[in-house]
C-alpha cells in the first residue's frame, strides 16, 4: 500500500514572517496527520522554517539544488548546504526550471544522482507542454523525461524517489487535467518504471499529481488508483487550503 504524499512548493513567495507563521500553523494543524507532508520554502527561509518543523511530522524540502559540489559556482546551493540546514528532500526538474531556466534532461539527471548520493530524497517532476499534448505526445514526453532522470539510479534507491506528474499547461493557469487525464499519465509512468526496473518497483513508487490541485478538486484526483498525492503550488500558501489536501 503506497503512502499518500502531499508536498507544498511555495515557489518565490512569502516573506520570513509569513513563512514562519504558516509553518507554525501547519505543524499545529497536521499533528497526527496520517499522510506524508512536505513543505519547500524559498532558499532564504529554509533555516527559519527548519527551526519550526524540527521534531514535527512536516518534512523540510528545497525547491532545487546545484548539480555540483561546493566550490566556485556563484549563486548556487549545494546538496551538502541543504542537508546542513535540515533539508530532507529536494524537488528536481520542475517545469519552471525546465522551461524558464533551460534545464535539460541531462542536467536534471546529474542533480538526481548527486542528491541521492548526498542522502537527500528527491521529487522528480515530469510533464508535457500543451502543444505536445495536442499532437498526442504527452506519454512519450513523460517517458523520455523519466528515462533520462532515472538513468543510473539503482532499484534500491527508488524508495527515496517520488515522481510528480505536472502537465505544464495546468500549472498556475487555473486549468487542471481531468481525473481521467491524470490517471492515464500516472498509469503510463508506472508502466515506464516497470519496464526500467520491474513491476514491484512500479507498484511501490509514489506518483504525485502537480497541476493546480486545490481544495475543490483534490478528492477526485486522489481517488484515482495511480494518483498517490499532490505537489501543490498556490494552494500550499495558506493553511486553510493546504491542510485539507494533506489530510486527504
| Catalytic hit among 96, 103, 128, 166 | 166
**What percent of the chain shows pLDDT beyond 70?**
98
CA angle (53, 54, 59) in 5-degree steps: 55
The pLDDT tens digits for 38-64 are 999 999 999 999 999 999 999 999 999
- Residue 1 — pLDDT band, cuts 50, 70, 90? confident
pLDDT surpasses 80 at 175: no
- Residue 107 — pLDDT band, cuts 50, 70, 90? very high
pTM of the model as a whole: 0.96
- Residue 24 — pLDDT band, cuts 50, 70, 90? very high
**What percent of the chain shows pLDDT beyond 90?**
93
Chain position carrying cell 530524497: 121
Tell me whether residue 186 is one of the annotated catalytic residues. no
> Residue 17: enclosing H or E segment and its boundaries?
helix 16-29
| Catalytic hit among 94, 96, 128, 139 | 94
**Beta-bridge partner residues of 163:** 124, 207
Q: Identify whether the C-beta of residue 36 lies closer than 8 Å to the C-beta of residue 70.
A: no
In this prediction, residues 136-156 reach a mean pLDDT of 97
Cα distances from 192 to residues 12, 102, 143, 189, 226, in angstroms, run 32, 25, 6, 5, 13
In this prediction, residues 53-78 reach a mean pLDDT of 97
pLDDT attached to residue 129: 92
Q: Using H for helix, E for strand and C for coil, what is the string for 141-178?
A: HHHHHHHHHCCCCCHHHHHHEEEEECCHHHCCCCCCCC
Q: Identify whether the C-beta of residue 227 lies closer than 8 Å to the C-beta of residue 220.
A: no
Tell me whether residue 73 is one of the annotated catalytic residues. no
Amino acid at each position: 500500500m503506497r503512502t499518500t504524499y502531499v508536498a507544498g512548493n511555495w515557489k518565490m513567495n512569502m516573506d520570513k514572517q509569513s513563512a514562519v507563521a504558516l509553518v507554525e500553523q501547519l505543524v499545529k494543524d497536521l499533528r497526527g496527520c496520517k499522510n506524508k507532508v512536505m513543505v519547500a520554502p524559498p532558499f532564504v527561509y529554509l533555516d527559519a522554517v527548519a527551526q519550526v518543523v524540527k521534531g514535527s511530522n512536516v518534512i523540510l524540502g528545497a525547491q532545487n539544488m546545484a548539480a555540483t559540489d561546493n566550490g566556485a559556482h556563484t549563486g548556487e546551493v549545494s546538496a551538502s548546504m541543504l542537508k546542513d540546514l535540515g533539508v530532507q528532500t529536494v524537488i528536481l526538474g520542475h517545469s519552471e526550471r525546465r522551461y524558464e531556466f533551460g534545464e535539460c534532461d541531462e542536467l536534471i539527471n546529474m542533480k538526481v544522482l548527486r542528491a541521492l548520493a548526498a542522502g537527500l530524497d528527491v521529487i522528480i517532476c515530469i510533464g508535457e507542454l500543451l502543444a505536445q499534448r495536442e499532437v498526442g505526445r504527452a506519454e512519450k514526453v513523460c517517458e523520455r523525461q523519466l528515462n533520462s532522470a532515472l538513468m543510473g539510479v539503482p532499484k534500491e534507491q527508488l524508495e527515496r524517489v517520488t515522481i510528480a506528474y505536472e502537465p505544464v499547461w495546468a500549472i498556475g493557469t487555473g486549468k487542471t487535467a481531468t481525473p481521467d487525464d491524470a490517471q492515464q499519465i500516472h498509469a503510463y509512468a508506472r508502466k515506464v518504471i516497470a519496464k526500467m526496473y520491474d513491476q514491484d518497483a512500479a507498484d511501490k513508487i509514489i506518483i504525485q499529481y502537480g497541476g493546480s490541485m486545490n481544495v475543490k478538486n483534490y478528492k477526485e484526483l486522489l481517488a484515482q488508483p495511480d494518483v498517490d498525492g499532490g505537489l501543490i503550488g498556490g494552494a500550499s500558501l495558506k493553511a486553510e487550503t493546504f491542510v485539507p489536501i494533506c489530510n486527504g
